[in-house]
Chain A
Amino acid sequence: MNNRQGMADTQVTKRDGILSEYNPNKITEAIVKAMRMTEVGIDKELAEKITLKVTQQVEKSKNTYSVEQIQDLIEKDLMMSSRKDVAKEYITYRQKRTEERLKQSELFKIGEGIISGDNEEVTKENANLNGESYSGKMNRFGSEYSKMYARNVMLPKRLVKAIDEGYIHVHDLDHYAVGTHNCIFIPFDKLLADGFQVSDKGSVRTPNSIMTAMAQVAIIFQCQQNSQYGGCGASKFDWDLAPYVTKSFVKHFKKGQMYFGETFVTVDIEELNVDNTDLLKVFPKSYTYALEETRLETKQAAESMIHNLNTMASRAGGQVPFTSITFGLCTSTEGRMISEAILNASMNGLGHSETAIFPQLIFQCKQGVNQNLGEPNYDIFIKAIECSSKRLFPNFVNVDADFNLQYYDPTKPDTSIATMGCRTRVISNRFGEVYQSGRGNISFNSINLTKLGIENGVVNGRTEVDVNGFWSKLDEILDITLDGLLHRFDIQGNQPAKASDFMMQNGSWIDGEKLHPNQKIKDLLRMGSVSIGFVGLAECLKALFGKHHGEDQNVWYFGQELIGYIRDYCDKKSDEYDMNVTCFASPAESLAGKFVRMLQKQYGKIEGVTDREYLTNSFHIPVYYEIAAHKKIDLEAPFHKLTNAGHISYVELDGNARNNLEAFKNIVQYALSKNIGYFSINHPVDKCMSCYYDGVINKECPACGENSEEKISKIRRVTGYLTGNVNNFNSAKRAEERDRVRHT
Chain B
Amino acid sequence: MNISGYIKESIVDGQGLRAVVFFSGCYHNCFGCHSPQTHDKNYGEEFTESKQQEIIEDIKSNPLLSGLTLSGGDCFFSAKEVIKFVIKLKNEIPDINIWVYTGFTIEQLMGKKDNKYKLLEMCDVLVDGKFEIGLRDTTIKFAGSRNQRILDVKESLECGKAILLSLDK
Q: A656-B12, A693-B138, A744-B17 are in contact. Are A662 and B62 (CB under 8 A)?
A: no
Chain B residues within 8 Å of chain A by Cβ, number: 19
Tell yes or no: B105 within 8 A of A by CB. no
User: Whose C-beta in chain B lies nearest to the C-beta of A634?
Assistant: B63
Contacting A at CB under 8 A, from B17-68, are 17-18, 62-64, 66
Q: Is B17 within 8 A of A659, CB to CB?
A: no
Measured between beta carbons, the chain B residues less than 8 angstroms from A84 are none
Q: Is B138 within 8 A of A702, CB to CB?
A: yes
Tell yes or no: A110 within 8 A of B by CB. no
Tell yes or no: A499 within 8 A of B by CB. no
Q: Is B16 within 8 A of A743, CB to CB?
A: no
Measured between beta carbons, the chain A residues less than 8 angstroms from B64 are 628-630, 663, 666-667, 670
Instruction: Give Cα A663–Cα B18 distance, bound, in whole angstroms.
Output: 8
User: Whose C-beta in chain A lies nearest to the C-beta of B63?
Assistant: A630
**Among candidates A659, A661, A662, A744, residue contacting B9 with C-beta atoms closer than 8 Å:** A744
Chain A residues within 8 Å of chain B by Cβ, number: 23
Instruction: Give Cα A93–Cα B16 distance, bound, in whole angstroms.
Output: 73
Instruction: Give the Cβ gap from A722 to chain B, nearest Cβ, in Å.
Output: 20
Instruction: Give the Cβ gap from A257 to chain B, nearest Cβ, in Å.
Output: 42
User: Whose C-beta in chain B lies nearest to the C-beta of A666?
Assistant: B64
Q: List 15 A-B contacts (CB under 8 A).
A: A628-B9, A653-B11, A659-B11, A662-B15, A662-B66, A662-B168, A663-B11, A663-B15, A663-B64, A664-B11, A670-B63, A695-B139, A703-B138, A744-B7, A744-B9
Q: Is A629 within 8 A of B12, CB to CB?
A: no
Measured between beta carbons, the chain A residues less than 8 angstroms from B8 are 628, 744
Q: Is B11 within 8 A of A744, CB to CB?
A: yes
Measured between beta carbons, the chain A residues less than 8 angstroms from B10 are 654-655, 744
Q: A629-B64, A655-B11, A744-B17 are in contact. Are A661 and B168 (CB under 8 A)?
A: yes
Contacting A at CB under 8 A, from B130-150, are 138-139, 141-142
Measured between beta carbons, the chain A residues less than 8 angstroms from B63 are 630, 670
Measured between beta carbons, the chain B residues less than 8 angstroms from A664 are 11
Instruction: Give Cα A484–Cα B17 distance, bound, in whole angstroms.
Output: 46
Instruction: Give Cα A662–Cα B16 distance, bound, in whole angstroms.
Output: 5
Instruction: Give the Cβ gap from A445 to chain B, nearest Cβ, in Å.
Output: 37
Instruction: Give Cα A712–Cα B9 distance, bound, in whole angstroms.
Output: 27
- Of A662, A666, A667, A702, the most chain B CB neighbours within 10 A belong to A662
Measured between beta carbons, the chain A residues less than 8 angstroms from B66 are 662-663, 666
Measured between beta carbons, the chain A residues less than 8 angstroms from B141 are 659-660
Instruction: Give the Cβ gap from A276 to chain B, nearest Cβ, in Å.
Output: 35
Tell yes or no: A657 within 8 A of B by CB. yes
Measured between beta carbons, the chain B residues less than 8 angstroms from A670 are 63-64
Measured between beta carbons, the chain B residues less than 8 angstroms from A695 are 138-139
- Of B8, B64, B139, the most chain A CB neighbours within 10 A belong to B64
Q: Is A654 within 8 A of B11, CB to CB?
A: yes
User: Whose C-beta in chain A lies nearest to the C-beta of B13?
Assistant: A655
Q: Is B11 within 8 A of A660, CB to CB?
A: yes
Instruction: Give Cα A324–Cα B18 distance, bound, in whole angstroms.
Output: 33
Contacting B at CB under 8 A, from A677-724, are 693, 695, 702-703
Instruction: Give Cα A744–Cα B18 distance, bound, in whole angstroms.
Output: 9
Measured between beta carbons, the chain A residues less than 8 angstroms from B168 are 661-662
Instruction: Give the Cβ gap from A321 to chain B, nearest Cβ, in Å.
Output: 34
Instruction: Give Cα A698–Cα B141 distance, bound, in whole angstroms.
Output: 18
User: Whose C-beta in chain A lies nearest to the C-beta of B168?
Assistant: A661
Q: Is B12 within 8 A of A660, CB to CB?
A: yes
**Among candidates B7, B16, B62, B138, residue contacting A663 with C-beta atoms closer than 8 Å:** B16
**Among candidates A657, A659, A666, A693, residue contacting B142 with C-beta atoms closer than 8 Å:** A659
Q: Majority SS of interface residues in chain B?
A: loop
Instruction: Give Cα A27–Cα B139 distance, bound, in whole angstroms.
Output: 81
User: Whose C-beta in chain A lies nearest to the C-beta of B169?
Assistant: A662
Measured between beta carbons, the chain A residues less than 8 angstroms from B7 are 744
Instruction: Give Cα A661–Cα B142 distance, bound, in whole angstroms.
Output: 13
Q: A628-B8, A655-B10 are in contact. Are A667 and B17 (CB under 8 A)?
A: yes
Q: Is B16 within 8 A of A660, CB to CB?
A: yes
Contacting A at CB under 8 A, from B65-115, are 66
Measured between beta carbons, the chain A residues less than 8 angstroms from B138 are 693, 695, 702-703
Q: What 0/1 pattern do residues 77 to 118 of A give for CB contact below 8 A with B?
A: 000000000000000000000000000000000000000000
Besides the known contacts A630-B62, A659-B11, A664-B11, 8 further A-B residue pairs in the complex with CB atoms under 8 A apart? A630-B63, A654-B11, A655-B11, A660-B16, A663-B15, A663-B18, A666-B16, A695-B139
Instruction: Give Cα A744–Cα B7 distance, bound, in whole angstroms.
Output: 8
Instruction: Give Cα A363–Cα B8 distance, bound, in whole angstroms.
Output: 29
Q: Is A743 within 8 A of B9, CB to CB?
A: yes
Measured between beta carbons, the chain B residues less than 8 angstroms from A702 are 138
Instruction: Give the Cβ gap from B142 to chain A, nearest Cβ, in Å.
Output: 7
Q: A666-B64, A670-B64 are in contact. Are A659 and B12 (CB under 8 A)?
A: yes
Instruction: Give the Cβ gap from A654 to chain B, nearest Cβ, in Å.
Output: 7
Measured between beta carbons, the chain B residues less than 8 angstroms from A630 are 62-64
Instruction: Give Cα A112–Cα B91 distance, bound, in whole angstroms.
Output: 70
Instruction: Give Cα A649–Cα B58 distance, bound, in whole angstroms.
Output: 23
Measured between beta carbons, the chain B residues less than 8 angstroms from A629 are 9, 17, 64
Instruction: Give Cα A703–Cα B140 distance, bound, in whole angstroms.
Output: 12
Instruction: Give Cα A659–Cα B141 distance, bound, in whole angstroms.
Output: 6
User: Whose C-beta in chain B lies nearest to the C-beta of A653?
Assistant: B11
Measured between beta carbons, the chain B residues less than 8 angstroms from A693 are 138
User: Whose C-beta in chain B lies nearest to the C-beta of A660?
Assistant: B11
Instruction: Give the Cβ gap from B54 to chain A, nearest Cβ, in Å.
Output: 13
Measured between beta carbons, the chain B residues less than 8 angstroms from A653 are 11
Measured between beta carbons, the chain B residues less than 8 angstroms from A655 are 10-12
Measured between beta carbons, the chain B residues less than 8 angstroms from A743 are 9
User: Whose C-beta in chain B lies nearest to the C-beta of A656?
Assistant: B12
Measured between beta carbons, the chain A residues less than 8 angstroms from B11 are 653-657, 659-660, 663-664, 744
Instruction: Give the Cβ gap from B17 to chain A, nearest Cβ, in Å.
Output: 4
Instruction: Give Cα A630–Cα B64 distance, bound, in whole angstroms.
Output: 7
User: Whose C-beta in chain B lies nearest to the C-beta of A655?
Assistant: B12
Measured between beta carbons, the chain A residues less than 8 angstroms from B142 are 659
User: Whose C-beta in chain B lies nearest to the C-beta of A744?
Assistant: B9
Measured between beta carbons, the chain B residues less than 8 angstroms from A661 are 168
Measured between beta carbons, the chain A residues less than 8 angstroms from B17 are 629, 660, 662-663, 666-667, 744
Q: Is A660 within 8 A of B15, CB to CB?
A: yes
User: Whose C-beta in chain A lies nearest to the C-beta of B18?
Assistant: A663
User: Whose C-beta in chain B lies nearest to the C-beta of A697?
Assistant: B138
User: Whose C-beta in chain B lies nearest to the C-beta of A667?
Assistant: B64
- Of B7, B139, B142, the most chain A CB neighbours within 10 A belong to B139
Instruction: Give Cα A660–Cα B141 distance, bound, in whole angstroms.
Output: 8
Instruction: Give the Cβ gap from B62 to chain A, nearest Cβ, in Å.
Output: 6
Instruction: Give the Cβ gap from A744 to chain B, nearest Cβ, in Å.
Output: 4
Instruction: Give Cα A653–Cα B66 distance, bound, in whole angstroms.
Output: 15
User: Whose C-beta in chain A lies nearest to the C-beta of B14?
Assistant: A660
User: Whose C-beta in chain B lies nearest to the C-beta of A386?
Assistant: B168
User: Whose C-beta in chain A lies nearest to the C-beta of B138?
Assistant: A702
User: Whose C-beta in chain A lies nearest to the C-beta of B15?
Assistant: A662
Instruction: Give Cα A465–Cα B105 distance, bound, in whole angstroms.
Output: 62
Q: What 0/1 pattern do residues 122 to 166 of B give for CB contact below 8 A with A?
A: 000000000000000011011000000000000000000000000
Instruction: Give Cα A544–Cα B62 distance, bound, in whole angstroms.
Output: 30
- Of A628, A660, A664, the most chain B CB neighbours within 10 A belong to A660
Instruction: Give Cα A661–Cα B8 distance, bound, in whole angstroms.
Output: 18
Instruction: Give Cα A630–Cα B17 distance, bound, in whole angstroms.
Output: 11
User: Whose C-beta in chain B lies nearest to the C-beta of A662?
Assistant: B16
Instruction: Give the Cβ gap from B63 to chain A, nearest Cβ, in Å.
Output: 6
Instruction: Give the Cβ gap from B35 to chain A, nearest Cβ, in Å.
Output: 15
